Amino acid sequence: MDNEKDQPESTAGKNYAQPSRDTMPDALASASIRESVNEGLRQARERAYAQDAINATGKKIRPPGSFFDGLKWEGQHYVTDQPVRAALVAAAGGAVLTALLIAFVRGGRRR
């Protein structure tokens, strides 16, 4: 028994699973938890709203060439999907441009 008294008492591990000395009544604890959850939900809604605003702005402000890149892609796929119709549309567009050019050139001489 003398050995037990000679060894220093270890304090490691003591009070490890002791209940908190600051105990709150259940109703107060529930209100505190409810308030914390409501605050977290409010912050999450604010972040989601801000992210939606950023996404909407990003969609409105695109690089200038992105619109034409989309048209280019659609045109290439239209030509491969419907080559005859694409050739007819190109011929009609060329005829309209030629008619406008001839009208502009002739209109300038008649003055």
14-46 residue pLDDT tens: 655 555 555 556 666 777 888 888 888 888 888
Q: How many domains does the chain have?
A: 2
71 plus 46 within the same structural domain: no
76 plus 100 within the same structural domain: yes
C-alpha span between 86 and 79 (Å, rounded): 6
The candidate with the shortest Cα–Cα distance to 78, out of 87, 91, 69, 67, is 87
Domain enclosing residue 35, as ranges: 25-61
For the chain, residues with pLDDT lower than 50 are: 1
Position 27 scores a pLDDT of: 66
Q: In this structure, what is the dihedral angle of CA atoms 41, 42, 44, 50, given to the nearest 10 degrees? A: 160
Position 87 scores a pLDDT of: 93
107 plus 71 within the same structural domain: yes
- Decide if 8 is inside a domain: no
